[in-house]
Chains A and B, each alone.
Chain A
Amino acid sequence: MVSRRVQSYQNKIAKLRAFSQTLGLVLTNLYYLHLRWLPFPVMNCYACPLATFACPIGSLQFAIGAGGFFPFYLLGIILFSGLLFGRITCGWLCPFGFIQDLLYKIPLKKKFRLPAFVSYGKYLFLLVFVLFLPILLHDPIFCKICPVGTMEAGIPWPILEPSFRALLGWLYALKLTILVGIVILAIFTPRPFCKGMCPLGALLSFFNRFSFLRVQVKEEACKKCALCAEPCPQGLMIYEDEGHPDCIGCMECKVCPAVEMKAGIPDRLLGGKKQSKTERISDIQPKL
């Protein structure tokens, strides 16, 4: 049972988040700000004709691959952002996350959650496609399969630049297939890219347990009723593991008054308990 006060508070948070996500979408597409020297910690492709910032994942692959230098500057920015916000930037600023949220709002009856093991996929993409293969082949391999790049650069550039059309081949077909797959999945399940594929989410997830801004549960108020789990896009029971690596800080769990967004220097490592398969409510019908 959700009280009216909590519901109105939740509505305010939802509106604030929608505004913040729209701001993120606009901010990452203001080409004339010329901030491509700054890797902004959300998934935004720098090959997009309107891109404001550098893509942190593309820049990382370039640095350790073809660039041949250790990316102190970039890793410092990721560390700084992670310490302050953890994965909250995913839930509140990431333009691709926002697009997936909008797709999930398409009202269809057959909504489902991806199984819990899918969330390990992002670590695999980070290790293999962002770190190992670019070092080995001196090529940004993740960019070749990245659906964000396909949407922000792969679609607009061949329209804007006719000479590119002759260069489209199997790689383009592969990228387009991945994007279409993610788009279709996002209609039926919340944030499939963030859950199973995003290497930036994998990097930032390590900071969820000790970030300045974080989701916490008031122990004395929590009745462990799993009310928070139903609207959670990642299918988490946040009281079982505060600071879970998959939590994107979207505050959909604010249906429960025991959950709060806390700001301040952390004084302990949050959570740490592993969620069992039953605790990750993959089988509960997600809320529209």
Chain B
Amino acid sequence: MRKSLFRSLWFILLVIALSIVVFGAKRGEWKKIKTNAEYICTSCIGLGK
């Protein structure tokens, strides 16, 4: 009983994870992440005095 409850909870969490991904993607977050990733990150290189 306890084991199947834990498995169900885990599965629900997985569904939540996928739903969050889809929700975020629909809000266009992937585009913002892509745009940011396509700029050359000056902090990553260490540019600046």
The interface of chain A, by Cβ under 8 A from chain B, is 36-39, 45-47, 51, 53-55, 58-59, 62-63, 67, 69, 71-77, 79-80, 83-84, 139-141, 143-144, 146, 149-150, 152-154, 157-158, 164, 167-172, 174-176, 210, 265-269
Interface pair A73/B11, CB less than 8 Å apart = no
Interface pair B44/A153, CB less than 8 Å apart = yes
- Rounded to whole angstroms, the CA-CA distance of A84 and B46 in the bound complex is 34
B23 → chain A, closest Cβ, in Å?
5
- Identify 11 new A-B residue pairs, CB closer than 8 A, beyond the known A71-B33, A169-B47: A36-B34, A37-B33, A55-B37, A69-B29, A74-B24, A76-B18, A79-B13, A149-B41, A149-B45, A154-B44, A268-B2
CB neighbours of A172 from chain B (8 A): 45-47
Interface centre among B2, B36, B37, B42 (most CB of A within 10 A): B37
CB neighbours of A143 from chain B (8 A): 41, 43-44
Interface pair A174/B46, CB less than 8 Å apart = yes
Interface pair B40/A47, CB less than 8 Å apart = yes
- How many residue-residue contacts, CB under 8 A, span A and B? 157
Interface pair B13/A83, CB less than 8 Å apart = yes
Closest partner residue, chain B, to A264 (CB atom): B7
Interface pair B44/A46, CB less than 8 Å apart = yes
Interface pair A167/B47, CB less than 8 Å apart = yes
Interface of B is mostly: helix
Partner of B29 from the list A51, A73, A79 (CB cut-off 8 Å) is: A73
Partner of A76 from the list B17, B32, B33, B41 (CB cut-off 8 Å) is: B17
CB neighbours of A36 from chain B (8 A): 33-34, 37-38
Question: A58-B41, A170-B49 in contact; A76/B20 too (CB < 8 A)?
Answer: yes
Interface pair A140/B46, CB less than 8 Å apart = no
Interface pair A72/B29, CB less than 8 Å apart = yes
Interface pair A267/B18, CB less than 8 Å apart = no
10 nearest interchain CB pairs? Answer: A73-B24, A76-B20, A72-B24, A149-B44, A76-B21, A47-B44, A172-B46, A169-B49, A37-B34, A267-B3
Question: A149-B44, A153-B44, A268-B3 in contact; A74/B18 too (CB < 8 A)?
Answer: no
CB neighbours of A268 from chain B (8 A): 2-3, 6
CB neighbours of B42 from chain A (8 A): 167
Interface pair A267/B7, CB less than 8 Å apart = yes
Q: What are 25 A-B pairs with beta-carbon distances under 8 A?
A: A36-B34, A45-B44, A54-B37, A58-B36, A58-B44, A59-B36, A72-B27, A73-B21, A73-B24, A73-B27, A74-B33, A76-B20, A76-B21, A83-B10, A83-B17, A143-B44, A146-B44, A153-B40, A153-B45, A158-B45, A168-B46, A168-B47, A172-B47, A266-B7, A268-B2
A204 → chain B, closest Cβ, in Å?
13
Interface pair B44/A171, CB less than 8 Å apart = no
